[in-house]
């Protein structure tokens, strides 16, 4: 019997490996694609997040002649780029990066003379996502709620005080602050002040954010109350805690 009261943890293992596997696929692809493309075939880019900027030669990114509001540059001087003209695999990866990342050259690494599909911070995020997914696949448990499933990655003896005093939500929020705050401070510091982050700092702050995201996604997809045939009372929790329903207040 597992620590949550179930006979096995097949679902958690599968979910964590899916999250980790998909993230690893993208992470490897971000390095592989620019490495096998012809040298200097992807110029310096500068687009917008959540927008397609370099799909075609007449797309927004290729029409820019100067920077505006922190995005764009003189693409003519750098050379035009259209990921739809690449092979299907490379087009998918660069299209993914075009949509999800700003593609700023000064915040991205270069391989084989080609700018990578995403910036350094996104590299860190996907690295963290992979670590989070694989970590949950080894340690995570379905404990009915997302919150309790998330906390299951920690040893039960370390959570006894958390459960005795019902500090579960605060514990999850504390982990979130520890893992997410570095990227928030680094990102907003760049946006609101003259501070300019380094590639190393972007990688180091993006990775813990991705770790939190990977753990949370794995916990969310693994939490399945229907797995407990006897109801919430069958869930084994640290410190001998049990889920109980709040008693309805009596009418006066």
Please list the residues that pair with 161 across neighbouring strands.
Answer: none
pLDDT band of residue 196 (cuts 50, 70, 90) is confident
pLDDT tens digit sequence for 117-139: 999 999 999 999 999 999 999 99
The per-residue pLDDT for range 33-87, each reduced to its tens digit, is 999 999 999 999 999 989 999 999 999 999 998 888 778 899 999 999 999 999 9
More confident residue, 132 or 1: 132
Q: What is the mean pLDDT of the chain?
A: 93
- Please name the residues in contact with 37: beta carbons below 8 A apart, sequence gap of 6 or more: 86, 90, 112, 114
pTM for this entry: 0.92
Residues 104-116 have pLDDT tens digits of 999 999 999 999 9
Q: CA nearest 107: which of 43, 192, 196?
A: 196
pLDDT for 246 equals 53
* Euclidean distance between CA atoms 220 and 28, whole angstroms: 25
Query: How do residues 197-216 score in pLDDT, each as one tens digit?
Result: 898 999 999 999 999 999 99
Query: Residue 110's beta-bridge partner residues?
Result: 115
């Amino acid at each position: 019997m597992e620590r949550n009261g179930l006979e096995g943890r097949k679902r958690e293992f599968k979910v964590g490996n899916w999250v980790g596997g998909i993230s690893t696929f993208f992470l490897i692809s971000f390095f592989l694609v620019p490495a096998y493309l012809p040298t200097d075939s992807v110029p310096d880019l500068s687009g917008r997040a959540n927008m397609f900027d370099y799909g075609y030669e007449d797309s927004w990114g290729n029409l820019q002649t100067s920077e505006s509001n922190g995005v764009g540059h003189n693409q003519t001087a750098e050379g035009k780029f259209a990921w739809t003209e690449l092979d299907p695999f490379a087009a998918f990866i660069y299209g993914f990066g075009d949509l999800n990342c700003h593609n700023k050259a000064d915040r991205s690494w270069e391989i084989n003379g080609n700018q990578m599909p995403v910036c350094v911070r996104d590299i860190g995020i996907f690295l963290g996502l992979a670590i989070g997914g694989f970590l949950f696949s080894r340690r995570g448990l379905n404990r009915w709620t997302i919150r309790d499933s998330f906390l299951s990655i920690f040893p039960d003896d370390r959570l006894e005080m958390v459960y005795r005093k019902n500090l579960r939500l605060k514990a999850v929020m504390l982990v979130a602050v520890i893992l997410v705050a570095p990227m928030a401070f680094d990102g907003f510091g760049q946006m609101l002040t003259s501070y300019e982050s380094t590639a190393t700092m972007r990688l180091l702050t993006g990775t813990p954010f991705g770790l939190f995201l990977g753990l949370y996604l794995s916990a969310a997809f693994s939490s399945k109350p229907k797995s407990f045939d006897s109801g919430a009372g069958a869930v084994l929790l640290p410190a001998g805690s049990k889920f109980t329903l709040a008693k309805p207040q009596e009418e006066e």
